[in-house]
Amino acid sequence: MLFVPEEEWARCSDDSDIVLEESETILNGGAVLDSVVKSPDSIVVVTRPLSRARFDSSVGAKYREQPVVRPEWVVDSLANRRLMPLDQYRYSFDEKKPEATKEPAKLEAADPHRADQRLVGFLSMGARGEKGRMGEFANNAKVVKRFEEAIRIYELMQFFDKNNAFRIKNYRLAISAIESLDRPLTSAQDLKPFGLDRGGIAQHVEEILQTGTFSKLETLKQQEMADERYQRMTQFKKIYGVGDKTAYRFVKAGYKSIQDIVHDQEMYASLTDAQKQGILHYDEWNERIPRTEVEAHHNFVVKEAEAIDTNLKVMLMGSYRRGAETSGDIDLIVYTEGVNEASQVHENLYKLTRRLQESGFIVCSMTEVSPAMHKFNGGCKLPGAQKCRRLDIIGIPHAELGASTIYFVGNDIFNRCLRLLAQIKGYHLSNKGLFLAADKSLVESFDERKILHTLGLDWVEYKHRNI
């Protein structure tokens, strides 16, 4: 899946027509870049008509020889949740037409080949009820899911056996091909246009269509279960704040349990505070939180906020807001009606955090609690409860309520598509608001509906943002 953190979308000079995406950060948990291209350092996405001369003058020398593509490449990669091959998305520099103006792009008649119209359609998918068509594509989803399971195991094995890279690449290419189909998958012959109608991938597809799985995957699962190293990697990666490399370091050190990490004083001392808390609350933080319990936590924080100031408001965000029955943590934003000054926003969050600490609700903190704080990350317990839950609280200016709600409700893919749509239309969208890219003037930040409307979208219900 494509995840490009907003702060890592590098920008060259002040030119809003160009987006540089570093290959090291373009994916989190998805395909590596060289699964579809020969490992360029960066991919340059150009969103407006641009001459070669202007391009060369706008970017640094290191980017001039990198692949330059149209924004449709990002749109289709997001939609397919895999990097698409670059060739069909190559950008053609405009040598005849005048440079694009700095005004936001006007909405035109719908054209399915235009990146902005395709994004609008993609973002509105749930509202239009198109997810009902998913039943027709059950086979497609089934094959993709099985191939993703194989990739997960092979990626685990890669830490101990470097000979699986080509297998991972082949499965990812197959997934990209299947997800680009505009019709239900009925046999491997449907993949003939991609050259996947014969060979091992084709055999796997036929097996999955007939039995629901394929023999190679079942063998991999058995190998995973039989190899203690893989089991330990999976276990250690569930520690909050621990990624692949740290988990591998634990395995390489010979640790067989989480307690082994704790007993190694030198190793334990090298961990971050967040990782130490992740070990302490390992079981609780890996347990999904029922919706009713999320609501109980929210209600408790609301009452504490009202005791400070009746205008201090607390809103639930994240997967809860999108209708999920369970959540991984409790995501809250807090604001005070009429308060927009940063120092006052931080002060109010500090007051609330201190009150929650004094009440015993907050039991651990992974961020500094001070009058300058703008967010809180830690753990909390309801009165009389035994389980500690992950808690994130963000303080925001009241004027930024709409933009912040979009950002913190998510999901990630919805947000990234929305930001790309804004870029194409001559805007910049963040959790602070919607701005004109040309002069960075604010267009809207308070009204969520106005932000979507300005970008050409009707209202998208939160439950339909689970793209």
Decide which of 225, 249, 270 is a domain's last residue: 225
Examine the domain organization and report whether 20 and 74 are in the same domain: yes
Is the residue at 324 inside a domain? Answer: yes
Closest C-alpha to 70, from 50, 87, 47, 54:
47
Tokens for 242? 């621990």
Is the residue at 210 inside a domain? Answer: yes
Around 250, how many Cα atoms within 13 Å sit in the side-chain half-sphere? 33
Examine the domain organization and report whether 253 and 313 are in the same domain: no
Examine the domain organization and report whether 279 and 293 are in the same domain: no
Is the residue at 417 inside a domain? Answer: no
412-424 and 115-123 helices cross at what angle (nearest 10)? 150
Examine the domain organization and report whether 70 and 95 are in the same domain: yes
**Number of domains making up the chain:** 4
Examine the domain organization and report whether 160 and 265 are in the same domain: no
The CA–CA distances, whole Å, from 413 to 37, 122, 123, 124, 406 equal 22, 10, 9, 13, 12
Examine the domain organization and report whether 45 and 98 are in the same domain: yes
Is the residue at 451 inside a domain? Answer: no
CATH (domain of 325): 3.30.460.10
Is the residue at 442 inside a domain? Answer: no
Examine the domain organization and report whether 148 and 174 are in the same domain: yes
Is the residue at 443 inside a domain? Answer: no
Residue 304 near residue 314, CB atoms below 8 Å: no
Structural domain harbouring 260: 239-285
H or E stretch at 450: helix 448-454
Question: Which residues make beta-bridge pairs with 236?
Answer: none
Examine the domain organization and report whether 218 and 244 are in the same domain: no
CATH (domain of 175): 1.10.150.110
CATH (domain of 254): 1.10.150.20
Tokens for 227? 């190899």
First CA to last CA distance, the chain: 11
Residue 37 near residue 63, CB atoms below 8 Å: no
The residue with tokens 């009204």 is 447
Task: For the chain, give percent helix, strand, coil, nearest 5.
Answer: 50, 15, 35
Examine the domain organization and report whether 54 and 141 are in the same domain: no
Specify the pairing of strand 375-380 against strand 389-395: antiparallel
Count Cβ atoms within 10 A of the Cβ of residue 340 and give its class: 0-12 exposed, 13-18 middle, 19 or more buried: middle
Examine the domain organization and report whether 118 and 147 are in the same domain: no
Residues sharing a CB contact under 8 Å with residue 297, sequence separation 6 or more, in sequence order:
330, 380, 382, 389, 391
Decide which of 396, 416, 440 is a domain's last residue: 396
Specify the pairing of strand 68-69 against strand 42-46: parallel
**pLDDT at site 3:** 29
The CA–CA distances, whole Å, from 155 to 30, 34, 93, 390 equal 10, 15, 39, 28
3-state SS assignment for residue 134: helix
Closest C-alpha to 33, from 108, 100, 85, 78:
85
Count Cβ atoms within 10 A of the Cβ of residue 148 and give its class: 0-12 exposed, 13-18 middle, 19 or more buried: middle
**pLDDT at site 134:** 42
Examine the domain organization and report whether 281 and 299 are in the same domain: no
Tokens for 431? 């959790």
**Cα–Cα distance between 242 and 271 in angstroms, integer?**
9
**pLDDT at site 84:** 75
Burial pattern 28-61, b for ≥16 Cβ within 10 A else e, equals eebbbbebbeeeeebbbbbbbbbeeebbeebbee
Is the residue at 148 inside a domain? Answer: yes
Examine the domain organization and report whether 152 and 193 are in the same domain: yes
**Cα–Cα distance between 151 and 288 in angstroms, integer?**
25
Predicted TM-score (pTM) of the model is 0.70
Closest C-alpha to 276, from 290, 294, 264:
264
Is the residue at 430 inside a domain? Answer: no
Decide which of 104, 123, 142 is a domain's last residue: 123
Is residue 164 reached through a cis peptide bond, with omega within 30 degrees of 0 on the bond before it? no
Going residue by residue through the chain, which has 467 residues, state the pLDDT in tens, using 9 for 90 and above.
Answer: 232 333 333 333 333 344 443 333 333 333 333 333 344 557 888 776 777 887 777 776 767 778 888 877 777 776 666 677 777 778 887 665 444 444 444 434 334 345 677 667 667 765 554 444 445 667 888 898 899 999 999 998 999 988 888 999 999 989 888 877 767 899 999 999 888 988 999 999 999 999 999 999 999 999 999 999 999 999 999 999 999 899 999 999 999 999 999 999 999 999 999 999 999 999 999 999 999 999 999 999 999 999 999 999 999 999 999 999 999 999 999 999 999 999 999 999 999 999 999 999 999 999 999 999 999 999 999 999 999 999 999 999 999 999 999 999 998 878 888 988 888 889 999 999 999 999 999 999 999 999 999 999 999 999 998 87
Closest C-alpha to 412, from 78, 77, 121:
78
Residue 383 near residue 375, CB atoms below 8 Å: no
